Structure 1
Amino acid sequence: MTSHPAEATGGAGPDETAGPVNPRRAEILAAAAELFARRGYHGASISDLGRSVGLTGPALYRHFSGKEAVLAEMLLDISERLLAEGVRRAAAPDPGSALDSLLRWHIAFALDNPALITVHERELDNVPEPERHRVRRLQRAYVEEWVAVLHRLHPGLPDARTRAAVHACFGLLNSTPRSATGLDRAAMAALLHTMARAALAATSL
């Protein structure tokens, strides 16, 4: 998949939170993310995907059983990576530091993987069960890591309010990088961090 920055993984490469990745499969998944984000899942054929990585359609089947399998692995990988790193960062003893670390991780992921974010938001319903169920379970677990940190910061907040705030924060972080122009990456990351921190602080008001 698209590589993640050192900041996003706390100083290590992407293999810190995931097992060894077959380079060819990773190349196919990265190409599929770009293709599905640009054309939509139904607008891209297995032949289109094969051509994008220099393979014929039949040759692609040596790596994946079909287009559904590509999409399922892509979204499972996103969800597993987000959760694994979220768990690690949420465990920081100081809840304020934990929240800042979670924000830096999610912002880096959103800025560096816009195609993956787009596919994740638009195409989950095209993932077959039980993989779709697994993705949703992983998503919920990731949200709960953020909720737990906010509860440590603001004890007594209602669960429903806290979860709503986390989902709203994700909406900001996931959508703004795709629509904003004129700022370099560092400036955009700093702006998103400031805005998200302020929005989450308002949860306690």
Structure 2
Amino acid sequence: MTTPISLDEEVRLYSTNAERDKYNTLATLYGIIVALDYLERAYVRDSITAAEYSPACTRLLSQYKTMLKLVGADVTSIDDFMKRYRMDNPAALHRIKVGVPATVEHSSEAGPETGKWIAETTQSFITFMDGLRLRMRAKDQLHPMLQELVTGYARFKGSKDWEGRSRMVSWLITLNGMKASEELTEEQSRQLIFDVEHAYAEFFRSLGGEKDNVS
């Protein structure tokens, strides 16, 4: 005898924790695509500036790549995913396939190099912070990422006066003095995360006035 179905009962998409995590991950991927589409349209309509658009787009693209790894075999391609869930977000699809912000793909009013450098530096920040949150602690894990970040940071005029840059250089010196397999302590890691987040926020604040000040 079958159990009667109540029309007032919530229908669950999952019956196990693994299935729940799967659907949560797919939902996050869906949300990233929608957010990216809104961002693209806002930029085309001049609702946001190139300096605001570029780092936001870079972050969403980075998050998309991370989520794509997590969903694994559940998503064979972005086209299939969008077709499966009847998504009509052509601007996001184009940006995902290009893989870089429009400020890098096309010459912007701020200049193609400015947009490119903003995107690259933002990506370096995101990569480094993600590594720290994933509990990367060894010198041979952190040093290459921090070195790339500091190099990108230094290309902006006025960066020598940014407090965040001096902190990053200080950490680079600390890592340089460590053996390859040596790890930061928990206290050092927490301080480094704090300093990087501070530098990231400072970098964002500077973008409005730095668009035309790239060396």
TM-score normalised according to structure 1 size: 0.40
Larger-gyration structure (1/2):
2
TM-score (norm 2): 0.38
Kindly indicate whether structure 1 or structure 2 has the higher relative contact order, using CA contacts under 8 Å at least 6 residues apart: 1
